[in-house]
Amino acid sequence: MALSFLTQDLAIDLGTANTIIYLNDKIVVDQPSIVAINNLTNKLEACGENAKLMRGKENPNITTIRPMKDGVIADFEAAEYMIRWMIQQVNSKKKSLFTPNLKIVIAIPYGSTDVEKRAVRDAAEHSGGRDISLIYEPMADALGIGLNVEEPKGHMVVDIGGGTTECAVISLAGIVKCASLKVAGDAFTEDIQQYMRQQYNIKIGDNLAENIKIAVGAAIPELETTPEPYDVIGPNLITAFPVKVPVSSMEIAHCLDRSLAKIETLIVSVLEQTPPELYSDIVKEGIHLSGGGALIRGLDKRLSDKLKIPFHVAEDPLRAVARGTNLALKNRSKGHLCPYLMK
């Protein structure tokens, strides 16, 4: 144990929208998954929150890139820049003569191909990782929610992330059924942009659409507590003059309806394939929602009313996968057998 300072255990949730890193049970990095590259030098200009501020405001010398698409690495070089920068942030406040060996557990989507898994491993290795394990996101999600994944009981989790929605049934430390859909937070943002174009002739960027989603995002028109309308300012597509319009949660519920209906269909399709014994467990326990999409107002009520099964929003749903990944890392460090971890 005297040389434990030479080893660091990191749990990483490489999300499409945000990347979260745990060290010693604490979140040490929680940043948007975005990098800004200087086109003249081909070097990293900014990463995380600072790069997000540049999004949509670039000049010809700067390009902002989201390395993750649909939960997997879409731009390997940018992903490597991002992972290396974020790992550097972990140690930026520590002065040490030694570079620690990194033991890393990374959460990946269940449907990841061997090529995509290899890309994640390579990016982590090039960023200093020495001992790398992978865990499927639905399993990490269930662990982070606090479910006992090893018991002979059916649990269902629905993770509505940035790029994908994953719906999985878990029993005996394994994933029984899982399906994913490329409809999630990014699709909701696009729905809002399209609605503003069609309804008000206003063009808005990704960041403003994201702000609208956070401020007045809703899944049902009638909410118990209705947020104040959000004032949107943008250029009129015809005249280019500035326009200011208040947008209500009722309008957003209407514009998100089609995407949310697709998520409902996904959940139903997984339930249809679930063995009867596990199905009855799920009906009794309910279905657990996580990811940023779970924060949309009234989503649990909409799904409960439509599917006649209770839905529960996880505590701090944005970080459920990261918490579970950290828990898997702790179990591995204690020498526990973790059948849900992949070397």
Of 331 and 293, more confident: 293
pLDDT over 80 (residue 338): no
- Token pair of 174, please? 């394994």
The Cα 53–Cα 142 span in angstroms is: 33
pLDDT over 50 (residue 337): yes
Neighbour tally for 97: CB within 10 Å: 4
- The conformation of residue 1, written as its DSSP 8-state character, comes to -
Residue 146: which residues within 8 A CB-CB, separation 6 or more? none
Counting residues of the chain whose pLDDT is more than 70, the rounded percentage is 95
Return the minimum-mean-pLDDT range out of 6-15, 32-41, 321-330. 6-15
CATH 3.30.479.30 corresponds to the domain 4-33+70-140+321-342: no
pLDDT over 70 (residue 96): no
The Cα 239–Cα 59 span in angstroms is: 24
Cα dist from 38 to 44, 50, 79, 255, whole Å:
6, 14, 15, 37
Cα of first residue to Cα of last residue in the chain, in angstroms, is: 24
Q: What is the DSSP string of 81-121?
A: HHHHHHHHHHHTT---SSPPEEEEEEEE-TT--HHHHHHHH
The Cα 196–Cα 130 span in angstroms is: 48
Amino acid at 120: V
pLDDT score of 342? 83
Return the minimum-mean-pLDDT range out of 95-99, 114-118, 338-342. 95-99
pLDDT over 60 (residue 118): yes
pLDDT over 60 (residue 1): no
Nearest one of 117, 109, 112 to 165, comparing CA atoms: 109
Average pLDDT, the chain: 91
pLDDT score of 99? 64
Q: What is the DSSP string of 35-56?
A: EEEETTTTEEEEETHHHHHHTT
Of 337 and 59, more confident: 59
Residues forming a β-bridge with 30: 20
Contact 320, 291 (CB under 8 A): yes
pLDDT over 60 (residue 51): yes
The mean pLDDT value for 258-262 works out to 97
Counting residues of the chain whose pLDDT is more than 90, the rounded percentage is 73
Contact 32, 51 (CB under 8 A): yes
Predicted model pTM: 0.91
Of 2 and 166, more confident: 166
For residue 213, name the pLDDT band (cuts at 50, 70, 90): very high
Of 2 and 36, more confident: 36
Residue range 162-196, pLDDT digits in tens:
999 999 999 999 999 999 999 999 999 999 999 99
The mean pLDDT value for 55-83 works out to 90
For residue 101, name the pLDDT band (cuts at 50, 70, 90): confident
E strand spans, 112-154: 129-136
pLDDT over 60 (residue 93): no
